[in-house]
Amino acid sequence: MYQTKNDLPENNRVKIVELLNARLADAIDLQTQMKQAHWNVKGPQFYQLHQLFDEINEEVEDYVDLIAERAMQLGGASQGTARMVAKASTLPEYPSVSAGRDHVDAVSTALASFGKQARAAIHAVDQLNDADTADIFTEISRGTDKWLWFVEAHRQAPQ
């Protein structure tokens, strides 16, 4: 840990930084999964899904920065290389698919998993008396739920 005058106890900050890095790995993985879907989607809803997946990627990029920068604010270091992310991500592996409906399923699975981890992080950092980090994860959770709704809407209409 780096020296900081942040008034959160150092032992709490250490635990929070560990949690932030775990969620950072998931966020970076989610971002790359959205690009995978964006690049490879095919089918009648190509254009809409292509755009949607790219919009999600852009939003997740903001989440990546929020998480990584919060770790630094607390005196920690961010662990965000591709190799670090590959070892640490808890998201399911993205399948090799091309059909729009298959991407909708895969993206919704990834978003649901990421959202669940964000909600767990809210509770965990709350227990460590860090309302600011909890607020970050609340923002991320709320945004992730919105994107999950947008994606799942592609499967919810009668065929």
The full DSSP string for the chain is -------S-HHHHHHHHHHHHHHHHHHHHHHHHHHHHHHH-BSTTHHHHHHHHHHHHHHHHHHHHHHHHHHHHTT-----SHHHHHHH--SPPPP---BHHHHHHHHHHHHHHHHHHHHHHHHHHHHTT-HHHHHHHHHHHHHHHHHHHHHHHHHHS--
Which CATH number does the domain housing residue 125 bear? 1.20.1260.10
Tokens of 101: 């409906």
Domain that holds residue 133: 10-156
Q: How many domains does the chain have?
A: 1
| Residue labelled with tokens 């950072």 | 24
Give tens-digit pLDDT for 13-67: 999 999 999 999 999 999 999 999 999 999 999 999 999 999 999 999 999 999 9
- 29, 82 contact by CB (below 8 A): no
Question: Residues in the chain, how many?
Answer: 159
> Is position 99 within any domain?
yes
Distance CA 147, CA 18 (A): 26
pLDDT in tens, 57-114: 999 999 999 999 999 999 999 999 999 999 999 999 999 999 999 999 999 999 999 9
* Residue 2 forms part of a structural domain: no
Distance in angstroms (rounded) separating the CA atoms of residues 99 and 85:
27
Sign of CA dihedral 142, 144, 150, 154: negative
- 139 lies in a domain? yes
Does 3 fall in a domain?
Answer: no
- Answer whether residue 159 shows pLDDT above 70: no
The answer to the question of residue 111 being in a domain is yes
Q: Is residue 39 part of a domain?
A: yes
Flag whether 4 is in a domain: no
What local confidence, expressed as pLDDT, does residue 155 receive? 87
Q: Is residue 101 part of a domain?
A: yes
